Structure 1
Amino acid sequence: MNAAVSDAFGETLADDAPDVSIAEALALLRRHYGLTGSARTLPGERDHNFHIQTEGEGEFVLKVSHPAEEADFTDFQNKALDHILTVDPALPVPSVRKSLEGEAQFMVGIGGSAPRIVRLVTYLPGQLLSRSLTSSAQDRNLGIFLARLGRALRGFFHPAAGSDLLWDIRKVAKTRPMLAHIVDAGHRAMVERAIDAYEEHAAPVIPGLRAQIVHNDMNSYNVVMDASRPEMVNGILDFGDMIHSPLICDLAIGAVYRWPAEGHPLAPAARFVAGYQSVQPLEIEELGILFHLIRARLALIANIASWQAERFPAKRDYVLRLITEVWASLERLDGLSSADARRYFLDHSKPE
């Protein structure tokens, strides 16, 4: 890995974390939370996560952070969840379970590794969005949910919100060195065009837009839907990519995963934006760059996933789980002009 790639990613993405066994997870649960039960591993990019089913105390997710993760950043997540549940108690997000010592998080060495941060949060039941049937109602409801989440976070701040996070659309140009890991020349060219368009059309506008702390990762594996009514949102997971960022960037990320269907490629995204605007109206400047932000997020996924698949072969299936949809979306959006995309959003994302 060259120096530019290493510097861009930071330690939590550039180095894999030592494994944590189920036995070790259950031992942590007993010792620090006084809970017993069963555990199964959950996939994760940086952390080791376990779905915990206890005997009479409910279900949880035990999170063991990457050794390079900073305590301030996990504290940021804990306090954000507490804030959301104070401002909008009906909003389904995980809640933090404190340890027997009354701590929201603590440091512990596991299997001889460097000390790692351990946390326990409640488990949100349901079916992942990635496995749920799509519908127009689902598009709108997801937009409404994200707008409510943004409103709940609006008055919150934390010193760690300014972290230099690569999963920040504004940093997409930093991922140019990762283009070398995209084998197909046509795919590589599409990603380059998306980055170029972002730098030309969106980057100059970004500094003047309203910003706040946002979730920053409403992807289809971080949202839980009602299993019997897949248009209804049961909750959102994984606050590990939170950041202080323009509000429109958060919306663009969610819009990416409303994959283009038959008809106009932006139709599902526009319905998502319409739902969002029924709670939080957008400004004309925000809508004007939304298309470029969506393409930039797709470019970010393509670059990071291609790099990670090569560096961590054992995680290849996990990091490339959405790559087929990403290439298809980039191809369909590549054929739209900036003016046509902007006009489509202005005409088709009005709240009903």
Structure 2
Amino acid sequence: MSSEVERTIEVNLSDGRRLILKTSATAEAVDSFRFQTAAMAGLQGFTGFVAPEVLRTTSGALMFEQEGTCGYLQTRIEGMPLHQATPTPDLLFRTGSALARLDLALELVSVPAAHRPVLWHVGCWSRLMELEHYLPSGSIADSVRVAMAEYAEFVEPQLSDVAWQVTHNDPSPFNMMVTGQGMGFIDFGDGCWSPRIQDLAIAASHVVGDSTLPLGGAEHLIAGYASVIALSALEAKLLVGLMRARQSALILVNYWRSHLFPADAQYIKKNVARAEHGLSILAPLGVASGEAAVLAAMSSFQP
């Protein structure tokens, strides 16, 4: 599509294997592909989650660069995207614990270009309100303003005090797969150096949907993550603010991008309705009540 800098093609081999070929003719894709291929290659051998495998070129390289085009070939994870599965408490718990194991592995992986510019990097969020005029007026725009103001004033100044590492940075329900071998994670294109809790905040923000629970059902995913990686007191305090800011960032960026690429608007906004609904559920929580809800989730929800 015109809105995407990477082209993804499914490759079906005569022996029945299904692979994914990613290519791009843009200069910025070189560093992105270097990051993606190194991350996936480095994850091989770790357990507790499933990740694609990069198939090396005949010369042994992880990717190719030729005549202005770069790309790589990877295995395809067979399974069901999380957004198509029934989000039971057990499944969300297992998703959270698998994500934590992914983060433990990524912490040990050496990758190039982890500090390259990434639109979805948490460092960009405080400037995203420049896109506010693309939002339709109403309660969602009001909630976005409140969430981003809280992020700029309370959350962002404290992020330097939490653990940072290489992260996936986009564990959305489209990039998390339910497989027979466990939870799988695909599309490392937004991966970068960021707060580790960012991965939890992103994944949790996407599963907020049950208005009868304080965190909308994200309690189960948070509990699963915390069963593997204990959250610090500061991380527990910042998590809901990060979740709301991520929902708001998704809303802002995708309304803007759908304005730039109207033909692709349906695809671009595929996560927006979920983010808007989730933000409406989390909006009533203050800093203290949000922290209390996270702590309660960590102590009360088991698989």
TMscore range, shorter length: over 0.9
The yes-or-no answer on 1:52 pairing with 2:11 is yes
The yes-or-no answer on 1:236 pairing with 2:185 is yes
Distance 1:58 1:89, change over 3 A: farther
Deviation of the 1:116 alpha carbon? 2.2
Deviation of the 1:343 alpha carbon? 0.6
Normalising by structure 2, we get a TM-score of 0.93
The yes-or-no answer on 1:261 pairing with 2:238 is no
Contact kept? 2:6, 2:29, Cα under 8 Å = no
Structure 2 Cα separation of the partners of residues 233 and 320 of structure 1: 28
Match of 1:21 in 2: none
Name the aligned partner's letter for residue 58 of structure 1.
R
Structure 2 Cα separation of the partners of residues 60 and 279 of structure 1: 31
Deviation of the 1:129 alpha carbon? 1.0
Determine helix, strand or coil for the equivalent of 2:293.
helix
CA shift digits 1:207-252 (9 cap, x unpaired): 11111101111001101113xx8xx844110001111111111110
Distance 1:157 1:99, change over 3 A: closer
Match of 1:312 in 2: 261
The yes-or-no answer on 1:137 pairing with 2:90 is yes
The yes-or-no answer on 1:195 pairing with 2:154 is no
Q: Which has the higher contact order (CA 8 A, sep 6+)?
A: 2
Match of 1:67 in 2: 26
Name the aligned partner's letter for residue 108 of structure 1.
Q
Contact kept? 2:155, 2:242, Cα under 8 Å = yes
Structure 1: runs of 5+ lacking an equivalent: 1-14, 18-44, 110-114
Contact kept? 1:175, 1:300, Cα under 8 Å = yes
RMSD of aligned residue pairs (Cα, Å): 1.9
Distance 1:66 1:220, change over 3 A: farther
Distance 1:282 1:63, change over 3 A: same
Contact kept? 1:99, 1:105, Cα under 8 Å = yes
CA shift digits 1:227-283 (9 cap, x unpaired): xx8xx8441100011111111111101101112214114052121111111111110
The yes-or-no answer on 1:118 pairing with 2:77 is no
The yes-or-no answer on 1:248 pairing with 2:207 is no
Contact kept? 2:10, 2:19, Cα under 8 Å = yes
Normalising by structure 1, we get a TM-score of 0.81
Between the two proteins, what is the percent identity of the paired residues?
Answer: 26
Contact kept? 1:169, 1:296, Cα under 8 Å = no
Contact kept? 2:258, 2:269, Cα under 8 Å = yes
Determine helix, strand or coil for the equivalent of 2:44.
helix
Match of 1:210 in 2: 163
Determine helix, strand or coil for the equivalent of 2:104.
helix
Structure 1 Cα separation of the partners of residues 201 and 157 of structure 2: 17
If you compute each CA radius of gyration, which structure gives the higher value, 1 or 2? 1
Structure 2: runs of 5+ lacking an equivalent: none
The yes-or-no answer on 1:284 pairing with 2:237 is no
